[in-house]
Amino acid sequence: MKKAKLNYTKQGYSYIKCTKEDCLNWGGMSICDNCNELMEEEVYLIFILSRAICKECFEEWLKRAKIYEEDLKLQKQRHVSWYKAYGFDIEED
Ligand SMILES: [Zn+2]
């Protein structure tokens, strides 16, 4: 397992910035779940979307993401094990 630190958007949603290689390791094809483009650079793995998306889509999402308390609650309960399923050992502060 690869150690990873969670990052948070200003709305409070967690994500991990990972690589194409990480994506291939978990059995993904390194194709953005939003726009279907091949991801050659950064890959953003986001629990609340259940998606791995490219930088452009991530920045697009950041602009329009809204805060839903229910989502944040769900995230708190489940995100660590979800990221773990993708091969990331989460370091909590
Ligand atoms: Zn994309």
pLDDT digits (tens, 9 = 90+) for 5-28: 999 999 999 999 999 999 999 999
Domain with 81 in it: 2-91
Cα of 22 from ligand 1 centre, angstroms: 17
Cα of 39 from ligand 1 centre, angstroms: 8
pLDDT, residue 25, reads: 94
Cα of 3 from ligand 1 centre, angstroms: 25
This prediction has a pTM of 0.94
Neighbours of ion ligand 1 (CB under 5 A): 32, 34-35, 54, 57
pLDDT, residue 31, reads: 97
Cα of 34 from ligand 1 centre, angstroms: 5
Closest by Cα among 55, 36, 44, 35 to 14: 44
Token pair, residue 24, equals 């291939």
The predicted-structure confidence for 52-81, as pLDDT tens digits, reads as follows 999 999 999 999 999 999 999 999 999 999
Question: Number of structural domains, the chain?
Answer: 1
Token pair, residue 82, equals 């979800």
